[in-house]
Structure 1
Amino acid sequence: MRRALRIAAEELRLMTRTRTAWLGLAALVLLSAIAAATSAAHIASERAAREEHQAAADHAFEAQPDRHPHRAVHFGTYVQRPVSPLAAFEPGVDPFTGTTLFLEGHRQNTATFGAMRESSGLIRFGQLTPAFVLQALAPLLLIFLGFSAVARERETGVLKQLRVHGARAGDVLAGKALALGTIGLVALAPALVSLATAAASAPAEAASAALIGGAYAVYLTIWILVVVAVSSLSRSSRGALLGLIAVWTVSVVLVPRGTAALATWAKPAPTRVEMDLRLAQDARRIGDSHNPDDPFFAAFKARTLSTYGVQRVEDLPVNFRGLVSAEGEALTAGLFAEYAKRTADQQRAQSAWLKAGAVLSPALAVRQASMAGAATDLENHVRFLEQAEAHRFDLVQRLNRLHAEGVQAGDDAARSSDLDAERRTRVSAKNWAAVPDFHFRSATPAERAGAMIAGLAGLAGWLLAAIGLFVFAGLRLRESSK
């Protein structure tokens, strides 16, 4: 171990004497720091904007004047998806999925104002975040600083001298890996500071932040072992560099992009227009609450009269129009839930391809773990949509009950032709403030830790493979030195 430490110290001394190494390390650290600062500022601004918009939407709904409850149903309101405390480190799918939902009766809208859809096409090439720097750029630095770590010693004859002085093959590889690991730790530092800062502002995120930091430490360890092993197995420094660049290109660029394209091709999703047309057809098939001759609602009318023991709608103790609105909303909400499940299952099927791609790329494995830990993965977005829909249904049904119980049926029927009757159908504006506000409940740290298992397992597999390659390289180096 002492020889390995000496070799590591000598390797670091050699790196510090190389201007290219200093420039590369300084550039990466600076870029990582800039990414952390700008991403944190952007997320803080985004969080403040969403909170402001949510407050404005809540105020606008509560500030409605006295009016008919069904008009409030169509007035609707907006809900904003809160920003995850760790989104500054790993934004995940958030920029692609939209942040704002308009909630109204008889309709389930899609989330809008996703950053990727609202900005220029240039941002689609990738956001500068600490996670992106570690996933894509840090391995490049390790490659450029370590590709010649062992190959150079072989070319210059130093490797034989080390053997003469008693250094074993394992000592040489371990020393080179320790030196490169020191560089990796420096590269990781700004990102760890970013995670620690986020965890300090939200103590409940500390466990998730620690797991994410550990995942990236394993990810960089994998690259360190691979770089040193390839350098040892290559006949020349040039061959090692070309081989490692090829590995980086396939692992970080081709496999993630190719897997995403393959997922879209293998599991194509219908467009929003197609989904709306299908939903409208199914909605007409199950019943139209606005059609008095609709068979379903004719049967509903008969059941309602039987339940209250009366012969005519006019004799009901409640407003039948409000009951019809509530029943129609329950029907369409069930249909919305079915279509939302189909969409979520379709997205999960596409996401499964990316998860499977982790077998070919540790970058996909660490990104999967990172997004799950930061609560910026697909499941978090689906959770938001489900909770927003539950809030929408509760909001509309509260107003429908108010319609049924707070508006006289006679006034409701005559409000289009009788101004006094129209005035009597207006309920007090105090009712709008009684509607609960939307509060999103994100996944708990324990739930996120469970969601990270697949990504962490993928990283563990890659780490074992890297260790195996490292050991094999040591055996080959020992054989070649005899």
Structure 2
Amino acid sequence: MSVILRIAREEWRSMRRNQVAVIGLLLLTVLTLVAALTAYEHQYHANAERARYQTETNQAFEAQPDRHPHRVAHYGHFLFRPLNPLAAFDSGIDAFTGNTLFLEAHRQNSANFGDVRQSSMLLRFGQLTPAFVLQVLAPLLLIFVGHAAVAREREYGTLRILLAQGVRSRQLVVGKLLALSGFAALTLLPATVALVWLVISGQAAWPLVLLLVAGYAAWLLLWVMIVVLASSSFVRGRDALLSLLAVWAVLVILLPRWVPDFASDVVTLPTRFETEINVEREYLALGDAHNPDDPKFAEFRDRVLRQYGVTRIEDLPVNFKGLVGEEGERQSSELFNRYAAVAFGLQAQQNRLVDGFGLLSPTLALRRLSMAASSTDLTSFRRFLEQGEQYRYGLVQGLNRLHAEHLHYVDDSDPDKENRISHTHWQRFPTFHYEAAPVSDSLRGAALSGGILLLWLLILASLTLWSAGRLGRAGR
């Protein structure tokens, strides 16, 4: 047996005798399993509930009686965002964003009914998910278990004996790293089993699960190196423990909390109230799409008359009111999309700024990787909003087209006449189906974060080997 394996075996024996290590590992395993089961149950019931509501709203929309198409456009429709199965592992920003869209003519509404707004204030401090356990609690356990791995040899005077027997300092440090890495692997095992089960049951894709496992393995290995590096840099284990707790507080708690606030201050988003005022001001300037005589649509009217070769809108083969509705919806949708693109662009700038701080805190890089793989990041939320807007626009324009083709302008202008079309028309509209991002997009979204984690590993590996060389000189 090599010297490194022998050292690792002895360190494992020490861990088995350490009640902190045994009890801590058991507690972390229980926490991970409870978090996985709780999060999966919440995700399962939330998806079932949203699917039921979606079915009910689809049926309610189709069950409308014969009526004017524009009344149907203002009746509206609801869309519910389905949850990705991997959201049970890392809920990301899902709890803080809305999951329901109300679709109506002349409006582009934001998503509502986020879990945080409907739950107790405790949810604002973070949900108990496997990702939270591995990101926050697992490094803390590694600190308490491994802080004295090398420092103990100095305190007990066994370092000189080992060096005198021909054990090189780098062999000693690598053996300690190997032992603590095995312990870290045990902390990752329950979450890995849960993720593999999602793949076997056909709910998740292998590449995304492998990305999550690799990302969290790199995260725990990173902390193994930090712990052993600190342990080999201090003479006493107590000093190493205090320094590691300070590092953990800064990297895991302080920076991930401060950096987003800093990014929000640097790249300021307009408030929702300001945006709504500006949008409403520009929307009113477009003209009244309900009024075919609005001067803002005079040029459009002339173009339509020339297109059909007539001089009066009453002579058009289609209902001019429906055409005005189409044109108004096109203009207003362009307005709404422009403001939405600006808002998402600013949020993307904030995210890029936060990503840059991943060089200072690997926690930020891990969170970005984890959310990208779990489809619970801003990109996935934006994808739902954009698909919902595309569906809304197609739905409203379809109703405007029915208005133009199935109702006569003269009759439509008579307040004493009921202008309705058959309800079978809205029964033919397609239902909404959310298309999740391709796996390749998720992998690309996590590439930068994965690179930052690898950079941290390379730097820490170099520092650990350098510190091991100094340990050998100091032990003589």
With the shorter chain as reference, the TM-score category is over 0.9
Which position in structure 2 is the counterpart of 1:270? 270
Question: In structure 2, how many angstroms separate the alpha carbons of the residues matched to 1:212 and 1:50?
Answer: 26
- Checking the alignment, whether the CA contact within 8 Å between 1:147 and 1:241 is kept in structure 2 is yes
Question: In structure 2, how many angstroms separate the alpha carbons of the residues matched to 1:362 and 1:201?
Answer: 32
Which position in structure 2 is the counterpart of 1:478? 472
Distance 1:291 1:410, change over 3 A: closer
**1:86 alignment partner, SS class:** helix
Which position in structure 1 is the counterpart of 2:463? 469
Question: In structure 2, how many angstroms separate the alpha carbons of the residues matched to 1:40 and 1:467?
Answer: 36
Aligned: 1:114 with 2:114? yes
Deviation per residue, 1:235-254 (Å, 9 max, x gap): 21111001100110010011
AA matched with 1:218: A
Which position in structure 1 is the counterpart of 2:380? 380
Which position in structure 2 is the counterpart of 1:428? 422
AA matched with 1:362: P
1:384-395 matches, within 5 Å, as 384-395=384-395
- Checking the alignment, whether the CA contact within 8 Å between 2:85 and 2:203 is kept in structure 1 is no
User: Which residue of 437, 443, 447 maps to 1:443?
Assistant: 437
Q: Which runs of 5+ in 1 are unaligned?
A: none
C-alpha deviation, 1:277, in angstroms: 0.7
Which position in structure 1 is the counterpart of 2:177? 177
Which position in structure 1 is the counterpart of 2:197? 197
AA matched with 1:133: V
- Checking the alignment, whether the CA contact within 8 Å between 1:8 and 1:178 is kept in structure 2 is yes
C-alpha deviation, 1:353, in angstroms: 2.2
- Checking the alignment, whether the CA contact within 8 Å between 2:20 and 2:144 is kept in structure 1 is no
C-alpha deviation, 1:119, in angstroms: 1.6
- Checking the alignment, whether the CA contact within 8 Å between 2:263 and 2:353 is kept in structure 1 is yes
Which position in structure 2 is the counterpart of 1:79? 79
Which position in structure 2 is the counterpart of 1:162? 162
Question: In structure 2, how many angstroms separate the alpha carbons of the residues matched to 1:362 and 1:4?
Answer: 28
C-alpha deviation, 1:287, in angstroms: 2.8
Q: TM-score under structure 2 normalisation? A: 0.98
Deviation per residue, 1:369-401 (Å, 9 max, x gap): 111111111111111111110110000000000
Deviation per residue, 1:315-367 (Å, 9 max, x gap): 11111111111110000010011011011112112212221121111111111
Deviation per residue, 1:154-197 (Å, 9 max, x gap): 00111122222221111111111111111101100111112112
- Checking the alignment, whether the CA contact within 8 Å between 2:163 and 2:472 is kept in structure 1 is no
Aligned: 1:225 with 2:225? yes
Q: TM-score under structure 1 normalisation? A: 0.97
AA matched with 1:442: A
- Checking the alignment, whether the CA contact within 8 Å between 2:198 and 2:204 is kept in structure 1 is no
**2:205 alignment partner, SS class:** helix
**2:206 alignment partner, SS class:** helix
**1:87 alignment partner, SS class:** helix
Which position in structure 1 is the counterpart of 2:258? 258
AA matched with 1:462: W
Which position in structure 1 is the counterpart of 2:323? 323
AA matched with 1:56: E
C-alpha deviation, 1:286, in angstroms: 2.9
Which position in structure 2 is the counterpart of 1:43? 43
Question: In structure 1, how many angstroms separate the alpha carbons of the residues matched to 2:19 and 2:289?
Answer: 76
- Checking the alignment, whether the CA contact within 8 Å between 1:98 and 1:111 is kept in structure 2 is yes
Question: In structure 1, how many angstroms separate the alpha carbons of the residues matched to 2:165 and 2:49?
Answer: 65
Extract structure 1 runs of 4+ deviating beyond 6 A.
Answer: none
Question: In structure 2, how many angstroms separate the alpha carbons of the residues matched to 1:352 and 1:329?
Answer: 34
C-alpha deviation, 1:201, in angstroms: 2.7
Question: In structure 2, how many angstroms separate the alpha carbons of the residues matched to 1:178 and 1:410?
Answer: 84
AA matched with 1:451: G
AA matched with 1:374: S
Deviation per residue, 1:220-277 (Å, 9 max, x gap): 0010011011100112111100110011001001110010111111122122121111
Question: In structure 1, how many angstroms separate the alpha carbons of the residues matched to 2:92 and 2:440?
Answer: 19
Which position in structure 1 is the counterpart of 2:450? 456
Question: In structure 2, how many angstroms separate the alpha carbons of the residues matched to 1:286 and 1:105?
Answer: 15
| Paired-residue identity, % | 46
- Checking the alignment, whether the CA contact within 8 Å between 1:200 and 1:206 is kept in structure 2 is no
After TM superposition, the structure 1 stretch with the greater mean CA deviation from structure 2, 103-112 or 25-34, is 25-34
C-alpha deviation, 1:204, in angstroms: 5.5
AA matched with 1:426: R
Give the total of aligned pairs: 476
**2:90 alignment partner, SS class:** coil
AA matched with 2:453: L
Which position in structure 1 is the counterpart of 2:144? 144
**2:84 alignment partner, SS class:** coil
Aligned: 1:134 with 2:134? yes
RMSD: 1.3
Question: In structure 1, how many angstroms separate the alpha carbons of the residues matched to 2:295 and 2:159?
Answer: 89
Deviation per residue, 1:115-158 (Å, 9 max, x gap): 12222221111111011111111000000000000111100111
Distance 1:293 1:320, change over 3 A: closer
AA matched with 1:263: A
Q: Which runs of 5+ in 2 are unaligned?
A: none
Aligned: 1:412 with 2:412? yes
Which position in structure 1 is the counterpart of 2:210? 210
Question: In structure 1, how many angstroms separate the alpha carbons of the residues matched to 2:303 and 2:370?
Answer: 53
- Checking the alignment, whether the CA contact within 8 Å between 1:99 and 1:111 is kept in structure 2 is yes
Question: In structure 1, how many angstroms separate the alpha carbons of the residues matched to 2:62 and 2:400?
Answer: 17
Question: In structure 1, how many angstroms separate the alpha carbons of the residues matched to 2:455 and 2:136?
Answer: 20
1:2-21 matches, within 5 Å, as 2-21=2-21
AA matched with 2:456: W
Question: In structure 1, how many angstroms separate the alpha carbons of the residues matched to 2:291 and 2:274?
Answer: 25
Question: In structure 1, how many angstroms separate the alpha carbons of the residues matched to 2:294 and 2:67?
Answer: 28
Which position in structure 2 is the counterpart of 1:346? 346
Deviation per residue, 1:81-116 (Å, 9 max, x gap): 111121111111111111110010000000011112
**2:434 alignment partner, SS class:** coil
Which position in structure 2 is the counterpart of 1:102? 102
- Checking the alignment, whether the CA contact within 8 Å between 1:226 and 1:469 is kept in structure 2 is no
- Checking the alignment, whether the CA contact within 8 Å between 2:116 and 2:124 is kept in structure 1 is yes
C-alpha deviation, 1:440, in angstroms: 1.2
After TM superposition, the structure 1 stretch with the greater mean CA deviation from structure 2, 66-75 or 470-479, is 470-479
Question: In structure 1, how many angstroms separate the alpha carbons of the residues matched to 2:251 and 2:442?
Answer: 25
Question: In structure 2, how many angstroms separate the alpha carbons of the residues matched to 1:148 and 1:238?
Answer: 8
